[in-house]
Each structure stands twice: as C-alpha cells, then as structure tokens.
Structure 1
Amino acid sequence: MKSEITISELAKLMNVSVHQIRYFEEKGVLQPSYTDNNQYRMYEVEQVYQLAQILLLRKLEVPVSSIKECMTSYSEDQYRQLLHSSLRDIEAEVQRLMELQQFIQKVLHEQQNVMKSTSSYQIKRRDTSYFTRWIEMYPQTKLTAKQLVEQPKHILNLFEMDIHYIDDGSSLNTLCLETQEPGDFSLPEGDYLSLLCIIQEVDELDQVVEQFYDYAAAQSYVVLGPLILIEKSYLSLFSNNKLHYELQMLIERL
C-alpha cells in the first residue's frame, strides 16, 4: 500500500487548490516526492510539512519569491524578527478595524438621531469639551478646497470627524477639532440648545441660525456662550449629498 498521496489529495488535506500547489512548484518552493509512471505527482509526509510551512509564511505575507530563502537559510533570530514584524502589522490592522467599527457605529447612531430629531429643538447636557484651532476665517465666507490644501497640519480622515465652527461674535470664526485633552480652548459643561438641520446649500444656514436665536429668545433662554455649528459631512451618505449640521449654544433656562 502506497504511503504517498496525489496532488488532489494534498490539496484537499491542506485546504488549498491544486492550482496553488502547482504555482508553488513553478516557483521552486515545493516539489513532489516523485512522479509515477502515470505522470501523477506524488507527495510524502515531508512535503505535507513543507506545504504547511509555505502556507504559514504566506500568512505572514512573505512573498513567494522569498519563501525558498526563508526555508533554506533563515536563522532562529530571523524567524523571530519575522514573527514580531507580522505581529506589529496585525496589531495595527486590528486597531484600524476597531476604529472603523467605532466610526460605523457613530454614523448609524447619528443618522438615527437625525431621523428622530431633524427640525426639532432639544436641550442637551454636554460635558466639558476641549478643542484645537484649525482654521480661522471671516464670517460669511465659505471654506474652500485651497484653504484645506494650504493648512500646515494635515488631518487624516477629516471628513469622518465632526468639524466645529465656533462663532463668538468676533471678527473671525474658528474651525476646530475636538480633542480628548485640554487644547486651545474649551466649552464648559452645561445645558445646550440643539437643532439638527439638513440643507442643500451653505447659504441656507443664515436663515437657520436666525431662527435658532429667535427660538431661544421666544423661550426666554439666556445665551451664555458662542454659537457652535457642527458639520457632520459623513451623514451626506443618507441624503443625496445634502449638508448636515447641528447648531448648539450654551443656555440658562429662567
């Protein structure tokens, strides 16, 4: 009884395709034990172990062109370095996936809030928030692509973040990014009047802001802080590229 197996049996055993095994053979990293009279490639247990090592190296993203060198000349220290490098790559990918998961959860949560609350005024309790300045611009001016490019600080995944426009009544509006630690300035803990809105053009914001202040005055709210305009560009996914904003300002209810 033969102890060797055919290429199809090897493929089934190792859960790979026959084509993949033939590819490894073409690249010189795996050879059959022998070829029988019927021209069948035959493999012994030694080749099973070799294929297992090849597949492991591929999982570690070693190029096929480098596998033969690894299997014939790598030292223990080189293998340790290879595994440590692969582990670092995996940890970075896990972190990327966790951040993507958190972002998706945030988008779904924000979109649910929009469905419930658009054009409805709310009072939100907000903890102390910290911000770093990003761009300063004159009121009534629009953010341009040129301004984004010219900023010395490049913000990765900018439009997956909430961009805060702070209007404190001065000659400049400040575009800010929220941070976890104290930054350039902060907004205090307190009750904030909030309004979610969806608009077609930025120019429509002026009317929304005016109505926002009118509503606060009609409710006899005392305004204690600047107007905060929060751009949520990622929500445009749900509304045919319309613009999503949340207006907020710190108030005191009499």
Structure 2
Amino acid sequence: MVQTPIKSKIENEMVFEEMQKAGVHYGRAKRYTHPSMKPFLIKSLHNIEIFNLNLTWQKMNEVAYALADFLKADKKILFVGVTPAASSSLTQFALTFNQPYMTYKWVGGFLTNFSTSLSRLAYFRDLAKKEETKELEEYPPKERAKLERELNKLKNIYSGVINLEKLPDALFIVNLAYPSHQTAKREALKLKIPIFALAGSDNDISGVDYVIPGNDKAPKSIAFIINYLEEKIRSLLQVS
C-alpha cells in the first residue's frame, strides 16, 4: 500500500491560485446544497456556495493515493461521466491508465444486470471483429446497413468497456447529482462496489467511499482536478 503523507493545507500559493482560476472553489446556488456536502463549504458568495480549497486539496491527495493503490493491485476502476463537462477529461484519464470508462451514456442495469451486459459486450465484440475482417461487406446491403448503424451505436456507448469481463472493483463518478450518475451510484451501492466521486455542492455523498469536494460542473475545474490526479498517480506509480 502506498503511504499517504497527506498535507491538510495548501502550502504552495501558486497551486491555490490555479485552483481558483479553474473555478474549483465554486459550488451551486445555496438552495441546491445537499446537507452531506456542508462540511466542505466555507461560505456563500452572492448566494453561491464556496468550497474550502484546503479540504479539496486534502481530498484530492487522499483520492490520488487510494487510486494508486487500486491500480498497483491491478484492479479495474470504471470511470463514469457522461456530462459534456466531464466526458473528455475522464475518457483521457481512463485511457492513460488502461481503465474502463462510460462517458457517452450510462446504461441502466449495466452493473446490476451484468450477465446481460456481458452478452451485449460479446455481441459488440463480434460485430467489431466482422467489421475489422471485412466480413460485414459480405452481407446483403440492407442487413449490412442495419448492422453498421447498430455497431456505431454500440461503439458510442460501450467502446470504453469493450474488454470488461467482470464487475469493476470500483467506480469513479464525476457529478453524482446527474440523473444517470445517480443510477450508477445506486447500482454500485447495491453490489457493494467502492465509489470514488468528484462531488459538487448539490451532490448526495452518502455511501461514497472517497470524495473530492469541488466544482463538478465546469470543464476547467474538472480538467484541473483530473490532471492533478493523473500527475500525482504517475509519480506514485513511477510511470513516465
């Protein structure tokens, strides 16, 4: 296990300024605040909740060490973030560490009906192989067109999990307040799969194992946090 010498306060003023520039400290309007997020908030400004960046920084480091432990043990973490703000950063993060991801659409029951999901993935792999070997070109035009449309749909949804053969060891979700992400969270909790989350002020983090409190709605904020996690994990795993 990677030892965790977590510092509770940001000692580098430049890091603090970068977090502010990225808008990491912004929550949502006060009326949307979920009670479980209140310990991470320091004040409200013009009715907008403001995160305590020292706590955010502390949690970013704790999560980086925990993720590194999972990766070091060859565990699979499924990254979930289908919102436009999160999908690009999260996809690249998952690819960097050869992890599965769902950043286009969460399929309800993906975890809780995993045998069905495995069948769907097997079908996807079969169609993809037929495309690669040009076998699809041998089908009658109408059937071929139908299969190609279906394959494109499957690529959008399942490309990030095409090689998943068992339930993931953990989930990493950006924005638990988003409806389909709530579904992913419920499925993980039902199956007792650990959950990592980047959570905004409107998120319900009950049952979540590892939380980074911060702006989960803005692309710049999400990218800053994800980039930091990537660099920190690389250093912990000594990956170039």
Identify whether the pair has TM-score above 0.5, normalized to the shorter chain: no
TM-score, normalised with respect to structure 2? 0.24
TM-score, normalised with respect to structure 1? 0.23
Larger radius of gyration: 1
Identify the structure with the greater strand proportion: 1
Higher relative contact order (CA 8 A, sep 6+): 2
